[in-house]
Amino acid sequence: MALQAVQKKPECDAIACQDCGLYQLCLPMGLNSADTMLLDRYVKRKRIVKRGQILYRLGEEFTCVYAIRSGSVKTYISTADGRLQITGFHIPGELLGLSAIDEKRYNCEAMALETTSVCEISLNCFEELARQIPSVHYQMLRMMSKEIKHNQNLMLLLGKKNAEERLATFLLTLSKRFAMRNYSATQFNLSMSRGDIGNYLGLAEETVCRILTRFQEEGLIASERRRIALNDLERLGSIAHEPYSGVTRALPRVRVSHSR
């Protein structure tokens, strides 16, 4: 039954897995080599988009999901009067576009932050894939569930955290995502501008700068332009005030908090 995850050991090798984010969808299902072969057939086109180019537009017909191979992408929505809100930054190994399933139209716009290579998987192929390997459906549910959780944490950040907490949270979240993909957790470069970071976190560009300098003065980080090093994950963590995970015990005593 698809709803119960098959938890065999994955057998496709790490290189192939890193090569294309589509594997992320199937890896946790424990595909055998045959399935992995099968998978390869469904990756139709590889596409390169340059910095600033659009991968898909808001409202455009939902035709493909995209798996990022290298580079990075931002997704954003906007008010009718033109204010943008960046809803996510996406790095290699991540899958894009799935949430368009309901309306058959992309519900955000995706723009490359740097030269980016993606796999395009057409919807038809994807459906065929799900027919061949039923637990793909379950895997899709898991990924969307993960995205919902991520978005809820972002809502907590936007609704309740102050500027310092937002920046610290942002840096640590990035760090964890890089670490998960075997990149350095303490040293990486930001493919997005200060403006983008501010936009994403609900802060002004200037505030982002000021707080980064403050972090630097306090020895928490070292940053020069896009290059950044996290020198004190510990202290950053205590600044960030991560969401409560709830595994140890019930929620802490309710403090019907106002924001901030």
DSSP 61: B
Residue choice 30, 40, 114, 156 for contact with a second copy (CB under 8 A): 156
Q: Which does 244 bind (CB under 5 to 8 A by kind): DNA, a second copy, none?
A: a second copy
236 binds a second copy (CB under 8 A): no
Residue choice 115, 132, 151, 213 for contact with a second copy (CB under 8 A): 151
Q: How many residues bind a second copy (CB under 8 A)?
A: 81
How far is it, in rounded angstroms, from Cα 176 to Cα 174? 5
Token representation of residue 203: 């802060």
Cβ proximity to DNA: between 40 and 164 the closer is 164
Residue choice 7, 34, 81, 225 for contact with a second copy (CB under 8 A): 81
Asked whether 185 and 176 are in contact (CB, 8 A), the reply is yes
108 binds a second copy (CB under 8 A): yes
Q: Which of 65, 163, 140, 164 is nearest to 106 (CA)?
A: 65
Residue choice 85, 122, 173, 186 for contact with a second copy (CB under 8 A): 85
Q: How far is the CB of 209 from DNA (least distance, A)?
A: 4
Residue choice 32, 152, 182, 213 for contact with a second copy (CB under 8 A): 152
Residue choice 13, 33, 132, 244 for contact with a second copy (CB under 8 A): 244
Q: Which of 108, 135, 128, 139 is nearest to 42 (CA)?
A: 128
Asked whether 76 and 109 are in contact (CB, 8 A), the reply is yes
Cβ proximity to DNA: between 33 and 78 the closer is 78
How far is it, in rounded angstroms, from Cα 103 to Cα 59? 9
Residues in contact with 100: Cβ distance below 8 Å, sequence separation at least 6, in sequence order: 62, 106, 107
Task: Please identify which residue in the block is written with the tokens 């698809």.
Answer: 2
253 binds a second copy (CB under 8 A): yes
The helix (H) or strand (E) run that includes residue 48 is strand 45-49
The site string for a second copy over 33-62 (x = CB under 8 A, - otherwise) reads ------------------------xxxx--
Q: How far is the CB of 157 from DNA (least distance, A)?
A: 11
234 binds a second copy (CB under 8 A): no
Residue choice 18, 63, 107, 187 for contact with a second copy (CB under 8 A): 107
Cβ proximity to DNA: between 9 and 225 the closer is 225
Cβ proximity to DNA: between 134 and 219 the closer is 219
Residues in contact with 126: Cβ distance below 8 Å, sequence separation at least 6, in sequence order: 42, 65
Q: How far is the CB of 214 from DNA (least distance, A)?
A: 8
How far is it, in rounded angstroms, from Cα 188 to Cα 175? 8
How far is it, in rounded angstroms, from Cα 39 to Cα 32? 11
Q: Which does 247 bind (CB under 5 to 8 A by kind): a second copy, DNA, none?
A: a second copy
The helix (H) or strand (E) run that includes residue 35 is helix 33-42
